[in-house]
Amino acid sequence: MASIPDHPNETGTWARLKGSKGFALWRRERQVLAPVTMYYLVAPPRQSEILYDEAKARARFNELAGVSDADEVIP
């Protein structure tokens, strides 16, 4: 099984939200110029997709990783 990719190598505060089968979803809190929250979907072979809405980022992750919304674990 493929390992879960590490976060893109950029500055900012990073948190991995999800990881599965070689895919990873990261949240980046950027503070340069203006506070912005960005969601990076790391999905080989492309480096990443950047989204600004967490719900859309999670849906795209699920689509690419083949994960069902029913598989979500609620903390």
Residues 42-62: tens digit of each pLDDT: 877 666 788 999 999 999 999
- H-helix or E-strand containing 49? strand 49-51
> How far is 15 from 28, CA to CA, in rounded Å?
7
Rounded to two decimals, the pTM is 0.68
Percent of the chain past pLDDT 90, that is, above it, reads 17
Residue 4, CA distances (Å) to 28, 34, 50 in order: 17, 30, 18
Q: By C-alpha distance, which of 24, 26, 34, 23 is closest to 10?
A: 26
